[in-house]
């Protein structure tokens, strides 16, 4: 591997050596192909791949295998953070962020704001030179500041495709002509684009253009407005918060069907929206246990930002509550209509600590009305389908890569069980609870 300032640091947290075979004995398997549980199974992982799943008394243990007791525990696929932000490869915070993801069972991250160093990082992770979740990375953002006209937009698409990025990230500020140029050129180049819905474009045009995913439910509140209401604005541009009072709930089913018909996925990032817009005092959120794993200055910035939002004269907690209610109903309607949902928290953003926020996101999805199985699917089998990787990841199934989480309780009974992690397997490397605790302790502040 090419040695750079970034990779020298990254090698400090590369994969440790691990047994050729690891066996989970007498474990309950949550395969995620269906909502069934396979009880009292032995699961054999060899060379990073799930080799055998069988009844506990029928599967012989390989010689010299590392044995993990699965009694009364539940083995499920690793989670995918489908709207994460990975620091630049040279950042001093990179090891922290990747470690927090791993400690929470996140084995895949779709990085939504890429930079050239992420290409090398992605490949180093793939080669096991860096211990981190599988990285799917965008290129640098397409936005109102970075794009200068349709021609320039097309040139940017071609450059990012040639550089090897996995997809293009769309941000606000693009004109309709610029967005259309991006969509057309991306289609020609065979590279997907995803992210925000620029105000000049709107959800309907984004659906027609074939956007791969809409993140944050961006633009949907405007789509719920009556025809005689100006859809522009929104609280600080924050996903139509200010106009929620005029939105029509009865429009949600049709909007959900149109999304499903277009084959477009959504990453709601409900945790971000509710943490930012709820009237809960910022100091209360700053007191959450996971905040101790973030730099104190970062948490102070989050407190300040939220205080500014709920202290603004235009802020109305009743309208904010209505916006959250409409979003929850939209999430369920999208699921009922067959539109794909993907798990994402937009961490690290306001009070969303990497990894920890994803478990909160799962709970928000269940609170909205999804079943625990449906919520788990957004972070397991659904991302595998979205990426076209169902033959490799996303389920507990023979022949798939061993990205796994061993839980102390059944997540299909109680979604909060995803927090009770006994250990994580990252592409065949078993990381015990003790090792995860040591990993977390590395970044814990004494002054939470």
Task: Name the residue among 277, 401, 289, 418 with its Cα closest to residue 343.
Answer: 418
- What is the pLDDT confidence band of residue 18, given thresholds at 50, 70 and 90? low
Assess whether 54 and 148 both reside in one domain.
no
pLDDT mean over 323-331:
97
3-class secondary structure, 435: helix
Assess whether 27 and 112 both reside in one domain.
no
| Residue 447 is assigned to a structural domain of this protein | no
Assess whether 34 and 112 both reside in one domain.
no
Q: Are strands 193-195 and 49-55 parallel, antiparallel or unpaired?
A: unpaired
The percentage of the chain sitting over the pLDDT mark of 90, rounded to a whole number, equals 87
Mean residue pLDDT across the chain? 93
| Residue 444 is assigned to a structural domain of this protein | no
Among the candidates 331, 355, 387, a domain finishes at 387
pLDDT computed for residue 15 by the predictor: 55
Q: Tens digits of per-residue pLDDT, 154-189? A: 999 999 999 999 999 999 999 999 999 999 999 999
Assess whether 117 and 44 both reside in one domain.
no
Answer whether residue 309 shows pLDDT above 90. Answer: no
| Residue 251 is assigned to a structural domain of this protein | yes
pLDDT computed for residue 5 by the predictor: 36
Q: Which of 78-82, 314-318, 355-359, 378-382 has the lowest mean pLDDT?
A: 314-318
pLDDT computed for residue 4 by the predictor: 38
Q: Tens digits of per-residue pLDDT, 286-296? A: 999 999 999 99
pLDDT computed for residue 446 by the predictor: 80
Assess whether 155 and 230 both reside in one domain.
yes
Answer whether residue 439 shows pLDDT above 60. Answer: yes
Number of domains within the chain: 2
Answer whether residue 316 shows pLDDT above 50. Answer: yes
pLDDT computed for residue 16 by the predictor: 57
Give the structural domain span for 419.
5-77+394-435
Assess whether 72 and 89 both reside in one domain.
no
pLDDT mean over 267-284:
95
| Residue 442 is assigned to a structural domain of this protein | no
Answer whether residue 380 shows pLDDT above 80. Answer: yes
pLDDT computed for residue 315 by the predictor: 87
Answer whether residue 237 shows pLDDT above 70. Answer: no
pTM of the model: 0.94
CATH of the domain at 405: 2.30.40.10
Q: Tens digits of per-residue pLDDT, 118-142? A: 999 999 999 999 999 999 999 999 9
- What is the pLDDT confidence band of residue 231, given thresholds at 50, 70 and 90? low
Which are the contacts of 133, defined by CB distance < 8 A and separation ≥ 6?
78, 81, 98, 101, 102, 106, 107, 108, 109, 125, 426
Assess whether 295 and 422 both reside in one domain.
no
pLDDT mean over 223-230:
85
pLDDT computed for residue 2 by the predictor: 33
Q: Tens digits of per-residue pLDDT, 186-220? A: 999 999 999 999 999 999 999 999 999 999 999 99
pLDDT mean over 282-303:
97
What are the start-end ranges of the E strands in 88-207?
106-111, 134-137, 168-170, 193-195
pLDDT mean over 227-253:
78
Question: Within the chain, how many helices (H) and strands (E) appear?
Answer: 16, 15
pLDDT computed for residue 3 by the predictor: 33
- What is the pLDDT confidence band of residue 17, given thresholds at 50, 70 and 90? low
Q: Is the dihedral of CA 249, 250, 255, 256 positive or negative?
A: positive
CB atoms within 10 A of CB 408: 14
Answer whether residue 1 shows pLDDT above 50. Answer: no
CATH of the domain at 334: 3.20.20.140
pLDDT computed for residue 402 by the predictor: 98
Residue 52 vs residue 313, higher pLDDT: 52
pLDDT computed for residue 313 by the predictor: 86
Assess whether 47 and 136 both reside in one domain.
no
pLDDT computed for residue 241 by the predictor: 86
pLDDT computed for residue 6 by the predictor: 41
Answer whether residue 72 shows pLDDT above 90. Answer: yes
Give the residues across from 29 on adjacent strands. Answer: 38, 75
pLDDT computed for residue 11 by the predictor: 40
Which are the contacts of 214, defined by CB distance < 8 A and separation ≥ 6?
194, 195, 196, 197, 203, 206, 220, 259, 264, 265, 266, 267
Q: What is the DSSP letter of 408?
A: S
Assess whether 230 and 287 both reside in one domain.
yes
Task: Name the residue among 250, 243, 416, 245 with its Cα closest to residue 333.
Answer: 250
Query: CA-CA distance, 250 to 247, in Å (whole number)?
Result: 9
Assess whether 31 and 168 both reside in one domain.
no
Residue indicated by tokens 């500014």: 308
| Residue 441 is assigned to a structural domain of this protein | no
Answer whether residue 13 shows pLDDT above 60. Answer: no
| Residue 448 is assigned to a structural domain of this protein | no
Query: CA-CA distance, 182 to 339, in Å (whole number)?
Result: 24
pLDDT computed for residue 10 by the predictor: 43
């Amino acid at each position: 591997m090419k040695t750079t300032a970034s990779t020298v640091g990254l090698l400090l947290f590369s994969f440790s050596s691990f047994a050729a075979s690891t066996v989970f004995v007498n474990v309950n398997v949550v395969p995620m192909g269906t909502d069934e549980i396979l009880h009292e199974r032995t699961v054999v992982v060899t060379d990073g791949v799930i080799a055998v799943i069988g009844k506990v008394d029928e599967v012989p243990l390989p010689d010299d295998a590392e044995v993990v007791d699965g009694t009364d525990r539940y083995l499920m696929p690793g989670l995918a953070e489908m709207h994460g932000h990975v620091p630049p490869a040279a950042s001093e915070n990179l090891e922290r962020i990747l470690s927090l993801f791993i400690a929470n069972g996140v084995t895949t991250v779709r990085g939504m704001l890429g930079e050239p160093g992420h290409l090398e990082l992605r490949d180093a992770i793939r080669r096991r030179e860096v211990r981190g979740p599988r990285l799917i990375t965008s290129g640098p953002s397409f936005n109102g500041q970075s794009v200068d006209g349709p021609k320039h937009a097309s040139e940017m698409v071609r450059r990012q495709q040639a550089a090897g990025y996995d997809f293009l990230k769309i941000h606000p500020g693009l004109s309709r002509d610029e967005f259309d140029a991006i969509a057309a050129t991306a289609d020609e180049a065979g590279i997907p684009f995803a992210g925000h819905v620029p105000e000049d474009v709107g959800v309907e045009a984004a659906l027609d253009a074939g956007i791969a995913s809409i993140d944050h439910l961006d633009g949907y509140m405007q789509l719920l407005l009556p025809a005689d209401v100006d859809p522009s604005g929104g609280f600080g541009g924050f996903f139509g918060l200010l106009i929620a009072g005029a939105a029509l709930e009865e429009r949600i089913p049709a909007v959900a069907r149109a999304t499903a018909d277009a084959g477009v996925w959504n990453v709601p990032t409900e945790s971000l929206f509710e943490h930012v817009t709820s009237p809960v005092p910022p100091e209360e959120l700053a007191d959450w246990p996971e905040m101790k794993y973030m730099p104190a200055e970062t948490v102070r910035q989050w407190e300040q930002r939220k205080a500014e939002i709920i202290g603004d004269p235009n802020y109305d907690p009743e309208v904010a509550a209505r916006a959250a209610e409409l979003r929850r109903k939209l999430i369920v309607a999208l699921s009922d209509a067959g539109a794909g949902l993907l798990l994402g928290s937009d961490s690290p953003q306001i009070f969303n600590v990497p990894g920890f926020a994803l478990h909160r996101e799962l709970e928000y999805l269940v609170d909205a009305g999804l079943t625990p199985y449906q919520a788990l699917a957004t972070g397991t089998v659904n991302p595998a389908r979205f990426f076209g990787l169902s033959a490799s990841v996303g389920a507990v199934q023979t022949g798939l890569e061993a990205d796994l989480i061993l839980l102390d309780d059944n997540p299909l009974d109680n979604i909060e069980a995803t927090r009770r992690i006994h250990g994580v397997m990252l592409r065949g490397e078993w990381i015990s609870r003790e090792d995860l605790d040591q990993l977390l302790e590395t970044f814990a502040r004494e002054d939470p």
